[in-house]
Each structure stands twice: as structure tokens, then as C-alpha cells.
Amino acid sequence: MLPTDTALVLFSGGQDSTTCLAWALKNYARVETIGFDYGQRHAVELTVRPQLLQSLRAQSAEWNDKLGEDHMIDLSLISAISQTAMTQDIAIETQANGLPNTFVPGRNLLFMTVAATVAYRRGLTVLVGGMCETDFSGYPDCRDDTMKALQVALNLGMDTRIKLETPLMWRDKKQTWELAEELGGQALVDLIRSGTHTCYLGERGALHDWGYGCGTCPACDLRARGYRQYVGAEV
Ligand code: ZN
């Protein structure tokens, strides 16, 4: 990894992408962020994004210097062309093909492709995403091979040498909390705990030890279990 490399982080305001952003700020000379508005049922993630960026700037003068522009992209076409529990008011369940209906087909492929186009324009050389195969929610576009194939396709299609980095690919949720501690100490863990949003239902009422959320949806369940393993509590 070259210190002169510059990165564009797919930043949604969730636990994973916030950890990825801290990771990029540690490893690259210049870091920009990109977020997507695709008609999410609950836009909570989008409202916590700017607060998180501000808090990360406040946590470290070095991070403040490195952190550049934030790009917010309208991808509302996703809700027009797909039918999923992420964009429509339907119950979360498993579909006949074994995938949960929170899966938005091709979403990460589209996100990475749009990010690559922005990176091309901004002269950024690395794309960072929170895709993870370890706590695999059944999303085939989070696979390591999917990302590697996409990197090849993007570089062939745009005649570039853009690198796709997925620092969480082989970490479980417990290890993601550990990575946050390694990158920014207790202050970053606390910021991620109370400042990020993961819950599928958009619930943000009570602050649990692992953060805000309904506590029962698949995203909350994963997050809560990982946090309890991280602090060494009973799971
Ligand atoms: Zn939830």
C-alpha cells in the first residue's frame, strides 16, 4: 500500500462502513466518501452520515486533514427497478432461492461501479467497501470473488488501475469492533456504538450497549451478538 494512494470509501453511516472509513484514514493520504440515496425505507443512515463525518474530524487532527469531499449520489432508480424489503414496506423474510428479501439484486455491483466513475473523475486510486463474507448474510454481491471479478471488469472497462479494498471481508462482527478499537481506541468504539446505524427497521429509540436499533431484526441481532462477544459478555 502506497502512502500516496488516495481512497474513496463507500460510506453509508453503518458500523461496517464507518470502521472502513477509519481504516482508510489510517492508511491513505487522502480520503473521500460516497453515499447513496436509493429510496431506503428508513433514511436514518443518511441523517447520521454528516454527524459521523464531523465526529471523525473532531477525533483526530490527522484524520481531519486527510478527509476530503463527501459525494452523495441519488440512486433512486434502484427502488424503481427492484422489489425488496429494503426499499418497500414489506416484511423481512427468506425467499424461495434462499436469499433474504433484504437483498437488493446487484446493489453492491452498482455502488462500486458508480464509485469507480466518481474515483476516475476525482483521481482516486482505491475504492474501499465494507463487504464481508464471514458474517455472510447470504448476499452474493458481498463475496470476495464478486469484488475481485468486479475490480477486473472495472479496470478493463475504464482502462484504469483502481484497487478494490474490503478490509472487513474475513472479519466477523466481533473482529470488526476490535478493528475499530485498534484504529481509534475507545473514542472510536463509542462513536460507532452510539453514532452509527445498522437496524433494518430504522428503529432509533433506546441506546443499547451495542448501539441503537430494534434488537430483533437480522442486522441488530448480528451487531448485538458481535458487540457482546467483543466485550466478553454472555451471548
Ligand atoms: Zn433492528
- How many structural domains are present in the chain? 1
Judge whether 29 lies within some domain: yes
- The average pLDDT across 95-109 equals 75
Query: Does the residue 77 lie in any domain?
Result: yes
Residue 207 domain-assigned (yes or no): no
Whether 109 is covered by a domain: the verdict is yes
From the CA of 22, how far away is ligand 1's center (Å)? Answer: 24
Pairing of strands 6-10, 211-212: unpaired
Does residue 107 lie within any of the structural domains? yes
Does residue 64 form part of some domain?
yes
Please determine, for residue 94, whether its predicted confidence score (pLDDT) is greater than 60. Answer: yes
Residue 164 lies in a domain: yes
Q: What percent of the chain has pLDDT over 70?
A: 87
Question: The domain containing residue 161 runs over which residues?
Answer: 6-184
Residues with C-beta atoms within 5 A of ion ligand 1 = 199, 201, 213-214, 217, 220
Give the model's pLDDT for residue 205. 83
Alpha-carbon distance values, 194 to 37, 49, 206 (Å): 22, 13, 10
Q: State in Å: Cα 212 to ligand 1 middle.
A: 8
Ligand 1 geometric centre to CA of 214 (Å): 4
- 95 within 8 A of 101, measured Cβ to Cβ: yes
State the pLDDT confidence band at 90, using cuts at 50, 70 and 90: low
Please give the share of the chain, as a percent, with pLDDT higher than 90.
68
Mean pLDDT of all residues in the chain?
89
Report yes or no on 232 lying in a domain.
Answer: no
